[in-house]
């Protein structure tokens, strides 16, 4: 990404992240209501760990300096 575009991309990322927070809260709340809190925490923690491990399997990311 060009250096002159970085601030624009970062601000859009931040804005969209904050804008989507209420949707995530509603989804987690609905899942916790339906499946129970402990199961929901475990489910989303497992999904997050799978994403992290999947990204770490990409050699370019592991060797990034």
Q: Map the chain to HEC letters.
A: CCHHHHHHHHHHHHHHHHHHHHHHHHHHHHHHHHHCHHHHHHHHHHHHHHHHHHHHCCHHHHCCC
Q: What is the pLDDT of residue 45?
A: 95
Report the C-alpha gap between 40 and 25 in whole angstroms.
12
* Predicted structure pTM score: 0.66
Other residues' Cβ atoms within 10 Å of the Cβ of residue 31: 16
Which mean pLDDT values do the consecutive 10-residue runs of the chain (65 residues) have?
A: 83 94 95 95 96 92 78
Q: What is the pLDDT of residue 61?
A: 81
Question: Domain map of the chain by residue range?
Answer: 3-62
Q: What is the pLDDT of residue 46?
A: 97
Q: What is the pLDDT of residue 14?
A: 95
The values of phi and psi at residue 36, to 5°, are 105, 150
């Amino acid at each position: 990404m060009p250096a002159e575009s970085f601030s624009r991309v970062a601000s859009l990322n931040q804005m969209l992240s904050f804008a989507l927070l209420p949707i995530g809260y509603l989804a987690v709340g609905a899942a916790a209501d339906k499946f129970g809190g402990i199961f929901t925490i475990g489910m989303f923690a497992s999904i997050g760990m799978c994403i992290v491990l999947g990204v770490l399997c990409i050699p370019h990311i592991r060797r990034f300096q």
